[in-house]
Structure 1
């Protein structure tokens, strides 16, 4: 007996329409859609009838940079038959680009000998824009902190140097002046340490959170970070350069943590590169992995320190060219985050010539 308390399909479709969700069922053997809700027109600018008559019509709306990725995810679902969630972009007829999230699962209908993929799709454009803006300003915040830490550390170092000269010239018997000089010296050291501790704590706290991977264009995100450094290069007397392909490089990473890694590597390059030195960041698509390089022409890493560079509280820690302090944790955290992404980090360095770090992250 039919339950009169259950809502009919038209009512459910109205709810889906209002929520901007599209429900669908696709026959993988027949290569056709068995059902697709009317909300598809709102999402992609095409009607269910168009897709029923020509299932590939939907693909014409998928962003060209996401077509290969979507095909890969479809084939993966057929093989693994595990529930999946995919985010990609579509273009409407008016060329507006939207982000949609598709949740799908594989269903084997043995009674009718059909293999179906069922699920729903929804517009996540607003969430994506919101997240991207957060990431953009977080990246700017991190690079600004690094710039400030180096920019403010220089005056403190100058104060400490001047105080050392005063200590030598002031009469040793004048205890009042000696005491005042001691106070100034302590405050200068404390101020310099506070700045560096604040930046280091930001990095430490962010590295202890679980990975949250998402598909992002790594080339554009690194470009945003480098723009921040290039805009401020006069403040810290360094020359910054980015080498990156024009086309996007999409990969699954925890963007927040990876950009902390990049900021930390650039920060180290600043710390160990003299004024007017060069710092170059490059991004390369190597088909099965992405290669990111951070190179400088600074003072280099002493050979005796190199084997211990990635150790926790490493004995390879040392002050920067302006006396910047080091916790000895930074490179260890960088290595941990890279390895959590199934990647690897290495470096080449020669004293007096400079250092280059290499990060390889596999493309999933």
Structure 2
């Protein structure tokens, strides 16, 4: 008897151990199958892990806590019928966790009977098959999408009427992808007005009768879309993200995600294809399929356009040949002119780049180890000037290359336009005084002309324009500058009494590498890139630039820049730097460098020594009272001593790599190569954060 009791106890412990360690979720309930459902009497740890409940939260509760809106009621009824007859039942349904999240469960429920054959409990063993279901659904969606693309491509091979063919294609694609509706809006003669050309709706959707607007305007309610579509960028948004003016577009529809795909023919934007979905996964794979379908529509439209054009050419062959011959002649002349301009530019650049380089190399060789000769300082000045000239040429080339490639980075903030221009004028003041130029700020009623702009780029614009005005204005000439309001823009007018631009040359001055042919400009040659860069920078600020000029009289430039929208989130207005070194930094902090770039370290060392600022670890006894400011560059290794104790960390990084440094742990950013002006401005910000 004792042995049997021991064996029973051992088997019970073994059973409990197996149940507690099995990976399957096990649930035991009583056999009550009334309306409230059976009550839970046991759940193993795997079941608790799967559902998020604690065991004490489950005991005594109805098994219905696992069920929700998407649980199949028919399956539950079949389960009830089987267990009432004492038969096990297996199936899969959607269950719900404690936090309300859904999962797919594959389960078997078996009746537990006593020796007399009466059902005393129900044993449920279940597994989470969510990943399996999702993989199957993904494969099914992908198959349907590929079938939709195949069907659509076969239809689009037709050369029938445009709207009928597209409507059939989007109808097949809609059915196979489960979209709520797909539509094609075509641009009219007014580029801002689009007309609904073709559409297909899900026939099983409750919102099928909701209207799709026959015409929309990108100049009013949907102006936000215009910039994306014109740039050939896909628009994706949730319906709750729509602005108030856009909500009427999908009013009454059952949609939660909307895609708009721009359509182009020969590079020209001609409309967009829209797709709407409801509770339908739209991951990268699906979006790639949607983009492919939109491309098929675009290819069809382009092919049809080409066929129509060929038909027109066939009917008017002689006229077309003559017209094309003339156009080819014009293009040939333009190509020859461009080739000539390119050759002249390369020849000019060869000279412009080689001259300062020769000066730098030659004068560097003249400077011997002994620095006692006073002429060495003059040589150094020439080297510095030549280096700046060379740097300016290279910067122009790089700027134009980046702007043309769309890779320029802009950092917008709230700016006072007049203050920015005044800084530019102060830089050129010495040359203005040297040439005895009469410089006049024409007073207007404009106060604080605020814009949203990149301060560096705004200064670059006006440094180029005002610099040209000074360069091309003879001694004792005049320059006039004013800022007025013109509708929603600030209008900057810059007028000089310089050499002027011939009328036939004025349409070309903003072309890259182009230089005005004027005998009086021989002494002011440059690269021909400045005004081209200016125009692109102005347009990047949503502005415009134009000119008026008379040869021998002078030139006026008119620059329009949008007035700052008061509703925009404002960034603190950028200030100019002080000429004096902040005293708080000298008395309350010391500087430390961790620079892998020797040039950065040499420049910082030279600058701070001139300011008599403590560098590295000072020897005085008050070190514990001073704050360490750490300068690091992008080549420094992380985790160096002192990083964790730094009061402020300044990260030095080339501007084109600035976005890469966002993940770094730093307080301020300084562009490389370091500008002394930017460094001074940064130091003022640091000083403001030191509290006595």
Which bracket does the TM-score occupy, shorter chain normalised? 0.3 to 0.5
The answer to which structure, 1 or 2, has the higher relative contact order (CA under 8 A, 6+ apart) is: 1
Q: TM-score, normalised by structure 2?
A: 0.24
Please tell me whether Structure 1 or Structure 2 has the larger radius of gyration of its CA atoms: 2
